[in-house]
Amino acid sequence: MGGDGGGGGHGSLHPAPCGDHLQLFSLPMASGQTYYGQVLKKSGDLQTSACVTTARLVPRHIQEALRNVHEEVTLRYYGCGLVIPECLENCWILDLGSGSGRDCYALSQLVGETGHVTGIDMTESQVEVAKKYIEYHMEKYGFQTPNVTFLHGYIEKLEEIGIKDESYDIVISNCVINLVPDKQAVLQEVYRVLKHGGELYFSDVYASLELPEEIRTHKILWGECLGGALYWKDLAVLAQKIGFCPPRLVTANLITVQNKELERVIGDCRFVSATFRLFKLPKTGPAERCQVIYNGGITGHEKELIFDANFTFKEGEIIEVDKETAAILKNSRFAQDFLIRPIGETLPTCSGCSALESKGIITDPFTLAGQSDSMKSRCSPDVAGGCCGITYS
Ligand SMILES: C[S@@+](CC[C@H](N)C(=O)[O-])C[C@H]1O[C@@H](n2cnc3c(N)ncnc32)[C@H](O)[C@@H]1O
Going along the chain from its start, the domains and CATH numbers come out as 12-282+364-378 (3.40.50.150), 290-342 (3.40.5.100)
The two beta strands, 25-26 and 13-14, are: antiparallel
Residue 355: the pLDDT is 33
**Type of residue at 17:** P
51 in contact with ligand 1, CB cutoff 6 A: yes
- CA distance linking residue 199 with residue 222, whole number of Å: 27
How many beta carbons lie within 10 A of that of residue 155, not counting itself?
26
All residues at 6 or more sequence positions from 74 whose CB lies less than 8 Å from its CB, including other chains: 66, 100, 102, 392
- CA distance linking residue 296 with residue 335, whole number of Å: 12
Instruction: Say how many Å lie between the CA of residue 229 and the centre of ligand 1.
Output: 14
Centroid of chain to Cα 362 = 18
Instruction: Say how many Å lie between the CA of residue 176 and the centre of ligand 1.
Output: 5
* Paired strand residues for 321: 290
Residue 352: the pLDDT is 38
The dihedrals phi and psi of 375, each to the nearest 5 degrees, come to: -60, -40
- Contact present, 51 and 80 (Cβ < 8 Å): yes
- Contact present, 205 and 227 (Cβ < 8 Å): no
Mutation pick for ligand 1 pocket among 51, 177, 179, 225 (CB with most ligand atoms within 8 Å):
179
User: Would you give per-residue pLDDT tens digits along the chain (393 residues)?
Assistant: 333 222 222 222 222 222 222 232 333 334 556 656 666 666 656 556 665 554 457 899 999 999 999 999 999 999 989 999 999 999 999 999 999 999 999 999 999 999 999 999 999 999 999 999 999 999 999 999 999 999 999 999 999 999 999 999 999 999 999 999 999 999 999 999 999 999 999 999 999 999 999 999 999 999 999 999 999 999 999 999 999 999 999 999 999 998 999 999 999 999 999 999 999 998 876 678 899 999 999 999 999 999 999 999 999 999 999 999 999 999 999 999 999 999 865 555 444 333 333 457 899 999 999 986 455 444 333 333 222 222 222
Nearest to 364 by CA among 246, 256, 265, 279: 246
178 in contact with ligand 1, CB cutoff 6 A: no
The dihedrals phi and psi of 387, each to the nearest 5 degrees, come to: -80, -15
Residue 41: the pLDDT is 62
Residue 34: the pLDDT is 66
- Which atom of ligand 1 is nearest to 156's Cα? 19
Nearest to 157 by CA among 193, 131, 126, 124: 193
- Which atom of ligand 1 is nearest to 37's Cα? 25
Residue 258: the pLDDT is 85
